[in-house]
């Protein structure tokens, strides 16, 4: 069964800190939504409000068609009644119970029969490839194994909504890669509506069907990874997503579909925007040439940073510094003159005052 | 989704909303538990304090002799004026106050010197025999606080004030000087030898928790050893010293045993012994004035101390586990320090017990020769010339009753204290950051700063009549349990909080998500993960209650007497050997209790002490 999560005008304060500020989100059935943002932006708080571990100050939350929280109606369902599972950052496996008992805990509360319980535990251990670990205690397992058990514990009682708070952040880089694959498959197979919290953009980009980028308790943009990457709704999002970072150049609209950066112009569809703007262009959307070209702008290669599959070139012209990305090994040498070309359709234009995307 | 703003709701809907919110608030376990504990502490601490204050300004029937025109229940300042401004105020209040302050300060400073030095030797030097020293530090927890005072008496009393000579006078045939036999000097020394252990434990823990890299950083920057001590080490142990200070000062302020054994025979009264002699003759109004003075002085000291150290840090002992610090090499002094330690161990543990045991085999006091040997105090059938005709300790039904009372009291107290510990720990930790939680924590701190004997006095005025649902308890065994549990509330709250902090909140949250009710969460997650801490807490409470005297001395009756109070009664009747024999019995019972309880769940006295 597939479940929608609807959050309306949700606000949560801690003293004077507004951790979640009037957030409204709808998570469609089967979505893998990632809450992404810098540390302290309110991701965990939003997730905990949905789970019921935190009581918000304003707003409403629906899970499926069940109203689980409403400030004005004074309703707040206990976490256990919301039909959801949560994987904690530190796993939170009960240290005095072995794997079997950790998994059985929720099933006993649901009063399942012994046979059913054993079957479910077996199944969920198999799903995370931990068959045979029933008798282990948490301290007898590695971090990665504990992580899998934490997942299995959630899978065993089959909630309709999965919540995960930075579940991979305590793992080393290799394991994290493996677990991403597993988690994505898990979602693919179960189809459960999932809300996933991370501050790691690669994690968000690779696993999600939707990403919500948060800043200071507010969702800046919620969209597919592809759109978040190519059409960041605000300067903050543009700057936060992408590695190497997007090139942001302040300028002003100097004519129809032209922005003056200072020493050169960039072609943009300006859609009647006037005045001060910021131009955003991804490093891979700039083409680079060692020979002079008609519509190319002359730069100097300040530094060339090959990394095997691609090469990052830092180009300079006066005060302007741009990052350019070329696939494969580049022939450009340091201090060499280069000509850069900007493609009109790849360029995003932001209003300088509001930071909002103009031509999206 | 109908009414989604508050203004659109009807009156009934609004009422419903408020009820639901209130119900949600009150049904959080930490809120219910906090409220329950508030009520409990209100009954156990606030109301008794209030009643005591009221008693000092109310005319009682015994006041009618002096206040001829007054009626019972009228308001009067008579007791306050009499105790603070009249001619007898000097004898009744100011001298005892001065004596109490002298003794408390003297004992605290001496205890600090001993405890601090030992802690430093054990943690920071290569002195041998650390295991023994650590074990020894638990000895004062096992011996009643006035054991050393009693042993002192056996050793140093003189015939002039004590009737019969002490061992020293017996051997040298020279009268022991009065200053050495009775009064402030022996009380200070015997208290310090008992209470040094707080400083030892706290300072040792603090020294252990200091990251030696801090000191090494100091050394690298070229600072001398003394400078490092002063600038880095010392500031870091100040909070530990402050906790030891509060604890020792407030304990010695309220201590009754030592001053009663070594002060009263020469009319050297402290507030505690004066308080007893007033309430002993039913003069409650005057006695309670003294109790309030005692409480105020103890509170002021604690406040000054905390102001100096800053915030409430000093209340918490510093936990933290061993960073390996560099040990100082004692080299040539090793022998010297080892010698000092051995002598010291002998003085506080071996010597007092030997003297006490020896004295119990003496027919007449004062004669230490072999032909005075007797077993009468242990297994005598009851001879009218010995111990007012009571049979020997091992055959005496009163002793058995007292021992049974002691055990019962300690078990009940330990049980309720552990129980409150769980509740307080949960309520305070889960409610962290809310005003309710802060209120509970602060209220739980109050008994800590009320000296033992004054806390007992508080309960005289309480429960003589029924209060709310609680029946009149005066003179009952239950009252002893109530007062002991109440006095232990600060310790329950502290050990409960630290046990609860060991369980990360996600562990309980994970269970909540899985659908467990608060009770299931407690039973299956929280309790199993904290029980070791509570067993240690149980043991600590058992032991401290077993040998508690000051707290209950004003409240016991002949039928509710416990071993601790019986030693005092015997000594006051002049049956010194019998009193000493009872102390030995008491110590043996404590040791047995310690042995049995520490079998469970790996709790131990050392753990309870944070060692
Ligand atoms: N229990 C709490 N008490 C007080 N402040 C909190 C609490 N939890 C979170 N905050 C504050 O709320 C803000 C958002 O925190 P959080 O949701 O944990 O951020 P994130 O998960 O995005 O790093 C932060 O400023 C944090 O300090
Ligand atoms: Mg977080």
pLDDT, tens digit (0-9, with 9 covering 90-100), for B505-543 = 999 999 999 999 999 999 999 999 988 777 878 888 998
Supply the pLDDT for residue B313: 43
CB-based contacts of A29: which residues, under 8 Å, 6+ apart? A2, A3, A4, A193
Pocket of ligand 1 from Cβ distances under 6 Å? A 14, 17, 19, 37, 39-45
Supply the pLDDT for residue B215: 64
Say whether pLDDT at B259 is over 90.
yes
Supply the pLDDT for residue B218: 65
CB contact under 8 A, A53 and B520: no
- Strands of B316-465 (E only): list them: none
pLDDT (mean) for B398-408: 94
In DSSP notation, B376-397 reads HHHH----TTSGGGPPPGGG-H
Residues 212-241 of chain A whose Cβ lies under 8 A from any Cβ of chain B? none
User: pLDDT category, A1, cuts 50, 70, 90?
Assistant: low
Q: What residue spans define the domains of chain A? A: 5-239, 245-351
* Any B CB within 8 A of A53 CB: yes
How far from chain centre, in Å, is Cα A331? 35
Using only C-alpha atoms, chain B has a radius of gyration, in whole angstroms, of 27
* Any B CB within 8 A of A80 CB: yes
* Any A CB within 8 A of B520 CB: yes
Say whether pLDDT at A54 is over 90.
yes
What are the tens digits of pLDDT across the range B200-250?
A: 888 888 887 766 666 666 667 766 767 777 777 777 788 788 878 888 888
**The token pair that represents B208 in the structure block:** 């252990």
In DSSP notation, B568-608 reads HHHHHTT-HHHHHHHHHHHHHHHHHHHHHHTTSTT--HHHH
Q: Pick the ligand that lies closest to the CA of residue A42.
A: 1
pLDDT (mean) for B362-381: 81
Supply the pLDDT for residue B387: 73
Q: Which CATH superfamily is domain B28-73+385-611 in?
A: MetI-like (1.10.3720.10)
* Any A CB within 8 A of B26 CB: no
User: pLDDT category, B5, cuts 50, 70, 90?
Assistant: low
Distance from CA of A80 to the nearest CA of B (A): 4
**Nearest residue (CA) to ligand 1, atom 27:** A40
Domains B28-73+385-611 and B104-271+332-373 share a fold: yes
Q: Is A122 in contact with A128 (CB distance < 8 Å)?
A: no
CB contact under 8 A, A94 and B513: no
What are the tens digits of pLDDT across the range B454-476?
A: 899 888 877 677 767 777 777 88
Q: Which CATH superfamily is domain A5-239 in?
A: P-loop containing nucleotide triphosphate hydrolases (3.40.50.300)
* Phi, psi dihedrals of residue A338, rounded to the nearest 5°: -135, 160
Cis bond before residue A244 (omega within 30° of 0) = yes
Supply the pLDDT for residue B314: 37
- In angstroms, rounded to a whole number, what is the distance separating the alpha carbons of residues B472 and B148? 37
Supply the pLDDT for residue A339: 95
What does pTM read for this prediction? 0.82
Say whether pLDDT at B157 is over 90.
no
CB contact under 8 A, B1 and A92: no
Say whether pLDDT at B268 is over 70.
yes
* Closest residue on chain B to A52 (Cα): B513
Output A342 or B212, whichever has higher pLDDT: A342
- In angstroms, rounded to a whole number, what is the distance separating the alpha carbons of residues A342 and A282? 10
* Most confidently modeled range among A351-360, B281-290, B429-438, B513-522: B513-522
CB contact under 8 A, A74 and B512: no
Q: What residue spans define the domains of chain B? A: 28-73+385-611, 104-271+332-373
User: pLDDT category, B322, cuts 50, 70, 90?
Assistant: very low
pLDDT (mean) for B131-151: 83
Closest by alpha carbon to B458, among B478, B444, B476, B479? B479
Say whether pLDDT at B323 is over 60.
no
* Any B CB within 8 A of A72 CB: yes
Residues of B in contact with A61 (CB under 8 A): none
Beta-sheet strand order (sheet of A58-63): A17-27, A5-14, A58-63, A66-70, A75-76
Question: Of the CATH numbers 1.10.3720.10, 3.40.50.300, 1.10.620.20, 3.40.190.10, which one belongs to the domain with range B104-271+332-373?
Answer: 1.10.3720.10
CA distances from residue B396 to A254, B153, B378 in whole angstroms, order as listed: 110, 25, 9
Alpha carbons within 13 angstroms on the beta-carbon side of residue B475 total 5
Say whether pLDDT at B285 is over 60.
yes
The number of residues making up chain B comes to 611
pLDDT (mean) for A257-281: 85
**Across all residues in chain B, what is the average pLDDT?**
84
List the CATH code of the domain at A245-351: 2.40.50.140
How far is the centre of ligand 2, averaged over its atoms, from the C-alpha of A45 (Å)? 7
């Amino acid at each position: 069964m597939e479940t929608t999560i609807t959050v309306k005008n949700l606000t949560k304060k801690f003293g004077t800190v507004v951790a979640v500020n009037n957030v409204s989100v709808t998570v469609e059935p089967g979505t893998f939504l990632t809450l992404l943002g810098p540390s302290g932006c309110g991701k965990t708080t939003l997730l905990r409000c949905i789970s019921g571990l935190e009581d918000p100050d304003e707003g409403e939350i629906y899970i499926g068609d069940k109203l689980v929280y409403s400030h004005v109606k004074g309703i707040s369902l206990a976490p256990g009644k919301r039909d959801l599972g949560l994987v904690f950052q530190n796993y939170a496996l009960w240290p005095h119970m072995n794997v079997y008992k950790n998994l059985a805990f929720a099933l006993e509360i649901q009063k399942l029969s012994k046979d059913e319980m054993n079957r479910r535990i077996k199944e969920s251990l198999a799903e995370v490839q931990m068959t045979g670990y029933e008798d282990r205690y948490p301290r007898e397992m590695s971090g990665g194994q504990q992580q899998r058990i934490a997942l299995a514990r959630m899978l065993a009682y089959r909630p309709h909504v999965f919540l995960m708070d930075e579940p991979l952040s305590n793992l080393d880089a290799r394991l994290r890669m493996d677990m991403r694959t597993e988690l994505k498959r898990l979602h693919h197979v179960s189809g459960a509506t999932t809300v996933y919290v991370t501050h790691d953009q690669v994690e968000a980009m690779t696993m999600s069907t939707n990403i919500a980028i948060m800043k200071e308790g507010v969702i800046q943009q919620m969209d597919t990874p592809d759109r978040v990457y190519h059409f960041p709704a605000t300067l903050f999002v543009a700057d936060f997503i992408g590695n190497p970072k997007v090139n942001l150049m302040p300028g002003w609209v100097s004519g129809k579909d032209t922005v003056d950066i200072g020493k050169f112009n960039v072609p943009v569809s300006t859609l009647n925007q006037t005045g001060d703007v910021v131009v955003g262009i991804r490093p891979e959307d700039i083409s680079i040439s060692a020979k002079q070209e008609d519509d190319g702008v002359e730069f100097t290669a300040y530094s060339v940073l090959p990394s095997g599959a691609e090469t990052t070139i830092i180009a300079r012209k006066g005060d302007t510094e741009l990052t350019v990305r070329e696939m494969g090994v580049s022939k450009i040498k340091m201090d060499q003159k280069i000509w850069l070309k900007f493609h009109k359709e790849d360029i995003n234009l932001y209003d300088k005052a509001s930071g909002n995307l103009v031509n999206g | 989704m109908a009414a989604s703003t508050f203004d659109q709701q009807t009156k009934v809907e609004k009422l419903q909303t408020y009820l639901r919110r209130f119900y949600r608030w009150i049904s959080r376990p930490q809120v219910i538990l906090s409220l329950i504990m508030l009520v409990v502490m209100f009954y156990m601490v606030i109301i008794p304090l209030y009643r005591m204050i009221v008693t000092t300004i109310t005319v009682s029937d015994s006041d009618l002799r002096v206040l001829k025109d007054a009626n019972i229940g009228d308001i009067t300042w008579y007791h306050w004026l009499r105790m603070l401004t009249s001619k007898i105020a000097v004898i009744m209040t100011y001298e005892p106050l001065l004596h109490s302050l002298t003794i408390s300060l003297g004992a605290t400073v001496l205890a600090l010197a001993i405890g601090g030095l030992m802690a430093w030797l054990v943690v920071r030097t290569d002195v041998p025999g650390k295991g023994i020293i650590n074990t020894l530090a638990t000895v004062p927890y096992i011996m009643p606080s006035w054991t050393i005072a009693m042993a002192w008496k056996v050793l140093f009393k003189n015939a002039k004030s004590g009737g019969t000579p002490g061992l020293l006078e017996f051997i040298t045939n020279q009268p022991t000087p009065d200053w050495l036999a009775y009064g402030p000097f022996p009380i200070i020394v015997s208290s310090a030898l008992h209470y040094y252990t707080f400083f030892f434990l706290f300072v040792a823990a603090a020294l252990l928790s200091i990251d030696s890299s801090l000191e090494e950083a100091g050394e690298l920057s070229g600072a001398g050893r003394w400078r490092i001590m002063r600038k880095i080490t010392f500031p870091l142990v100040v909070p530990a010293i402050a906790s030891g200070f509060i604890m020792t000062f407030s304990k010695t302020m309220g201590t009754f045993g030592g001053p009663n054994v070594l002060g009263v025979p020469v009319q050297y009264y402290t507030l505690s012994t004066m308080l007893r002699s007033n309430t002993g003759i039913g003069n409650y109004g005057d006695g309670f004035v003294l109790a309030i003075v005692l409480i105020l002085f103890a509170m002021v000291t604690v406040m000054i101390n905390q102001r100096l150290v800053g915030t409430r840090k000093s209340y918490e002992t510093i936990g933290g586990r061993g960073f390996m610090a560099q040990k100082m090499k004692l080299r040539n002094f090793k022998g010297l320090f080892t010698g000092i330690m051995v002598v010291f161990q002998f003085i506080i543990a071996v010597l007092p017990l030997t003297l006490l045991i020896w004295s119990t085999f003496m027919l007449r006091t004062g004669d230490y020769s072999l032909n005075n040997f007797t077993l009468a105090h242990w297994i005598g059938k009851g001879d009218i010339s010995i111990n007012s005709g009571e049979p020997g300790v091992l055959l005496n039904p009163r002793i058995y009753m007292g021992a049974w009372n002691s055990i019962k009291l300690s078990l009940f107290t330990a049980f309720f204290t552990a129980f409150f510990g769980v509740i307080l720990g949960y309520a305070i930790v889960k409610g962290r950051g809310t005003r309710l939680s802060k209120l509970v924590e602060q209220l739980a701190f109050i008994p800590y700063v009320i000296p033992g004997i004054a806390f007992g006095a508080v309960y005289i005025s309480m429960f003589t009549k029924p209060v709310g649902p609680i029946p009149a308890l005066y003179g009952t065994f239950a009252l002893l349990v109530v007062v002991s549990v109440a006095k232990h509330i600060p310790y329950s709250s502290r050990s409960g909080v630290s046990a609860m902090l060991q369980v990360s909140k996600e562990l309980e949250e994970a269970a909540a998500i899985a659908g467990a009710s608060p009770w299931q969460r407690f039973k299956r997650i929280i309790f199993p993960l904290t029980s070791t801490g509570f067993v240690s807490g149980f043991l600590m409470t058992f032991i401290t209650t077993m040998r508690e005297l000051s707290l209950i001395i004003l409240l016991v009756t002949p039928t509710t007497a416990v071993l601790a109070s019986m030693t005092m009664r015997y000594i006051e009747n002049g049956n010194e050997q019998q009193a000493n024999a009872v102390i030995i019995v008491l110590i043996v019972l404590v040791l047995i209790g310690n042995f049995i309880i520490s079998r469970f769940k790996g709790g131990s006295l050392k753990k309870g002490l944070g060692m």
